[in-house]
Amino acid sequence: MSILYLIVPCHNEEEVIPETAAQLCAKLSGMIEKNICSKESKILFIDDGSNDQTWPLIVDLYNNNDLICGLKLSNNCGHQNALLAGLFTIKDFADCVISLDADLQDDIEVLDQFMDKYHNGCEIVYGVRKKRMTDTFFKRASALLFYKLMKALGVNIIYNHADYRLMSKKAVNALAEYQEVNLFLRGIIPLIGFKSDTVYYDRNPRFAGKTKYPFKKMMSFALDGMTSFSVKPLRLISNLGIFISCLSIFALLYALTLKLRGASVPGWFGTVVSIWLIGGIQLFCLGVLAEYIGKIFKEVKQRPRFLVDIFLRK
């Protein structure tokens, strides 16, 4: 019987942890009774540097429930690194893991389907939202644009998939071979290969508390994803430079022609606008270059992606 670990990253989730733990424990107990997974299966809550009562609540749950484990990181490392910490900490204890959010938006009723796919030979199973009707129009439109941009940049990303997924021990060990600091799991995991499948589910409204991914963080996350997996933005800059250079040559020839004919180029407005336009393009290109250079800077320092403070496991 396969040992399953549910991986739940938490950052300031004191409002949802008690209910989340209750529902997950009930679901996991039912799966154990049905022989879907081993009685050694557990739920691992990861405290990603919370500054509320998240960790004390996890400790209390651990002391009172044999299904609960706890992992405390030394500081806030971000959702992706916290998830990675959970995966790598328990990879030697589990046959497979399922990662999900702490806010109960991921439908836990489809956990059985994940395990069915795993027992049928899948090493990776992606949880994919059926629809995004609970999102605002802006969020739906921006999410669609993000996925289309990632595909256009050549990134193999699963549409409407976040971090609700099952990974076998084999897949987690393969993931450990990827050492980059600039982490974007939604792009890295499809690179692993192996047999995979999808489980479709309806995303629930957040049970309590506030989202940990406001617009600013979502934009940063999207930018990390684009620049971590493709050099096409750099090639676009090169092509843009060639295009503008060609335009400049034609503009110069046009101005010389007018000059030879005795006509003057009227006004300064066109000149100023063109300078502003070229200046803006140059600043944008420098910004893209700086983003890549910043990633190189982070990689060469080789700082640890996370540090474990406390690991509680019975």
Give the amino acid at 59.
V
pLDDT of residue 115: 94
Are 94 and 30 part of one and the same domain? yes
**Residues of the domain holding 242:** 232-301
pLDDT of residue 86: 92
pLDDT of residue 99: 93
pLDDT of residue 61: 93
Any idea how long the chain is? 314
pLDDT of residue 129: 85
Q: What is the mean pLDDT of each run of 10 residues along the chain (314 residues)?
A: 92 90 93 92 93 92 92 88 91 92 87 93 90 63 68 71 89 86 78 88 67 56 61 67 68 66 58 65 73 71 79 87
Are 115 and 246 part of one and the same domain? no
Cβ atoms 202, 131 nearer than 8 A: yes
- Token couple for 15: 């409002």
Contacts of 207 (CB under 8 A, 6+ apart): 16, 19, 20, 103, 104, 105
Are 258 and 271 part of one and the same domain? yes
Give the β-pairing of 42-47 and 68-73: parallel
Are 83 and 184 part of one and the same domain? yes
pLDDT of residue 105: 84
Helices 215-229, 185-192: crossing angle, 10 deg rounding = 40
Burial class (CB in 10 A: 0-12, 13-18, 19+), 44: buried
Are 165 and 127 part of one and the same domain? yes
- In the β-sheet with 42-47, what is the strand arrangement from edge to edge? 196-201, 124-129, 161-168, 96-99, 4-10, 42-47, 68-73, 308-312
| Closest by Cα among 245, 248, 221 to 162 | 221
Are 265 and 224 part of one and the same domain? no
Are 214 and 79 part of one and the same domain? yes
pLDDT of residue 191: 83
Are 240 and 276 part of one and the same domain? yes
For the whole model, what pTM was predicted?
0.71
Q: Classify each residue of 195-210 as buried b or exposed e, where b means 16 or more C-beta atoms within 10 Å of its C-beta.
A: ebbbbebebeeeeeee
| Closest by Cα among 236, 167, 235 to 195 | 167
Are 190 and 266 part of one and the same domain? no
Are 88 and 237 part of one and the same domain? no
pLDDT digits (tens, 9 = 90+) for 86-139: 999 998 899 999 999 888 888 889 999 999 999 999 999 999 888 766 666 666
Are 149 and 34 part of one and the same domain? yes
- Cβ neighbour number for residue 81 with a 10 Å cutoff: 21
Report the CATH number at residue 81.
3.90.550.10
- Token couple for 166: 């099952």
Burial class (CB in 10 A: 0-12, 13-18, 19+), 161: middle
Are 141 and 217 part of one and the same domain? yes
Cβ atoms 20, 43 nearer than 8 A: no
The SS3 of residue 234 is: helix
Work out how many domains the chain is built from and give that number.
Answer: 2
